[in-house]
Amino acid sequence: MYNSIDMNIIKIIKIIALTILFIATKAQSLLADEYTILAFGDSLTAGYGLMAEQGFTYQLEYELNQLGHKVTVVNGGVSGDTTSGGLSRLEWVLSSVKNGKPDLIILELGANDALRGITPDITRSNMERMLAILKQAELKTLVAGMMAPPNMGHRFSTEFNRIFPEVSEKFNMPLYPFFLKGVAGNGALNQSDAVHPNSEGIKVIVKNIIPYILKTDIYFEVKIDK
């Protein structure tokens, strides 16, 4: 038998449990209503060497909301990831974002493939397999293109640089031609390693990619009151 103190404790626990359930349900409802972008990529997406508020996903979310769009940008970046690594984790990451249905995916991978000299045919195959998964799931996707560093040689660079425009066309998905446009090779916009953008470089990337994002979905034709 429970005494009065035990019963009071049980009542309190029930109230707490119901409160938590209510909050969780409400949060899920709000998330379902909010436009969600999954930025899926490598260290350029993850924000290597930067404070969280300086990174790509944070700055992109901030700028889109400043434009009057209610948007959440999920950071699906893993530093050091290649297209092979991205392919291996894509479906798992998708399942964890908005019940597997993010409203838009920015697919940003390939930089580490180029830096490591991975055979372009492998990169192409991985990109095609990822885009096939996204196409099958009917998920809007913006392909963020990448270009090989000049020191990789003419043949490698030519084969690599063709991958992103060709696979995006094959799967009828929009392309942002070069994720590092205006930033690559500019010492003032990169960290000391001359590879990863600094906070100012991220601002340039965000500014350049936003017009492409706004063209991907009719959602962005409507603004909300802030």
Domain CATH number, residue 112: 3.40.50.1110
Q: Is residue 118 a contact partner of residue 136, using CB atoms and an 8 Å limit?
A: no
pLDDT band, very low/low/confident/very high, at 25 (cuts 50, 70, 90): very low
Asked if residue 90 and residue 17 are part of one domain, the reply reads: no
Q: What is the pLDDT of residue 49?
A: 96
Number of compact structural domains in the chain: 2
Q: Provide the pLDDT for residue 223.
A: 61
Q: Is the same domain home to 14 and 50?
A: no
Domain that holds residue 164: 35-221
Average pLDDT over residues 157-166: 98
pLDDT the model gives residue 225 = 54
On whether residue 112 sits in a domain, the answer given is yes
Residue 21 pLDDT level (bands cut at 50, 70, 90):
very low
Q: What average pLDDT does the chain have?
A: 89
Q: How many whole angstroms separate alpha carbon 121 and alpha carbon 184? A: 24
Assigned domain for 136 exists: yes
Residue 143: the pLDDT is 98
pLDDT grade, residue 34 (50/70/90)? confident
Per-residue pLDDT band for 183 (boundaries 50, 70, 90) equals very high
Q: What pTM does this model have? A: 0.84
Do 81 and 8 lie in one domain? The reply is no
Please check the confidence at residue 111 and state whether its pLDDT lies above 80. Answer: yes
Considering the domain architecture, whether residues 65 and 9 belong to the same structural domain is answered as no
Residue 47 and residue 132 in one domain: yes
Tell me what the mean pLDDT of segment 13-27 comes to: 46
Q: Give the per-residue pLDDT at 6.
A: 54
Same domain, 104 and 215: yes
Q: Are residues 58 and 82 in the same domain?
A: yes
Q: Are residues 16 and 45 in the same domain?
A: no
Give the CA angle between residues 37, 48, 116 to the nearest 5°: 100
Q: How far is CA 161 from CA 61, 108, 143, in A?
A: 28, 14, 13
Active site residues: 43, 193, 196
In a domain, 162, yes or no: yes
Residues 6+ apart with CB under 8 A from 9: none
Candidates 175, 172, 110; CA nearest to 147 is 110
pLDDT of residue 219: 85
Q: Is residue 206 in a domain?
A: yes
> What pLDDT was estimated at residue 117?
97
Let me know if residue 15 belongs to a domain. Answer: yes
Same domain membership, residue 95 and residue 11: no
Q: How far is the C-alpha of 42 from the C-alpha of 61, rounded, in Å?
A: 18
pLDDT, mean of residues 33-58: 96
The reported pLDDT for the residue numbered 221 is 79
- Same domain, residue pair 57 and 82: yes
Clarify whether residues 50 and 22 are in a common domain.
Answer: no
Please give the pLDDT value at position 22.
41
Q: Is residue 226 situated within a structural domain?
A: no
Q: In whole angstroms, what is the distance from residue 187 CA to residue 198 CA? A: 10
Same domain, 4 and 100: no
